[in-house]
A = this chain, B = another copy of it.
Amino acid sequence: MMLEELRHTVWEASIALPKKRLVTATSGNVSARDKESGLVVIKPSGYEFEKLKPEHLLVLNSKGTIVEGNLKPSVDTATHIYVYNHRPDIHSIIHTHSPYATSFAVLGETIPMSLTTLAMEFGTPIPVSDFALIGGEEIGREIVNKIGTCPAILMRNHGVFTLGSNVQAALKAALMLEEAAQTMHYAMLRGKVTELPANIIAQSFKFYQEEYGQRGA
Which A residues lie at the B interface, using CB under 8 A? Answer: 24-27, 44-47, 70-72, 75, 97, 99-100, 102-104, 106-107, 109, 114-117, 120, 131, 133-135, 157-159, 171-172, 175-176, 178-179, 182-191, 193, 196, 200, 203-204, 207, 211-217
In Å, the complex CA distance between A172 and B172 comes to 27
Q: Is the CB of B133 within 8 A of A203?
A: yes
- Given A100-B186, A216-B72, verify A176-B25 contact (CB < 8 Å): yes
In Å, the complex CA distance between A175 and B72 comes to 23
Q: How far is the CB of A35 from chain B (nearest CB, A)?
A: 22
In Å, the complex CA distance between A120 and B107 comes to 19
Q: With A97-B117, A185-B189 given, can you name 18 additional A-B contacts, CB distance below 8 Å?
A: A25-B175, A25-B176, A26-B213, A27-B117, A72-B214, A99-B186, A103-B184, A103-B187, A106-B187, A106-B193, A107-B191, A116-B134, A116-B158, A133-B200, A133-B207, A134-B207, A157-B196, A189-B190
Q: How far is the CB of A93 from chain B (nearest CB, A)?
A: 17
Interfacial chain B residues near A70, Cβ < 8 Å? 217
Q: How far is the CB of A140 from chain B (nearest CB, A)?
A: 15
Q: Is the CB of A157 within 8 A of B115?
A: yes
- Given A134-B207, A158-B115, verify A106-B183 contact (CB < 8 Å): yes
Interfacial chain B residues near A97, Cβ < 8 Å? 117, 179, 183
- Given A46-B214, A216-B72, verify A102-B115 contact (CB < 8 Å): yes
Q: How far is the CB of A196 from chain B (nearest CB, A)?
A: 6
Q: Is the CB of A99 within 8 A of B179?
A: yes
Q: Is the CB of B24 within 8 A of A72?
A: no
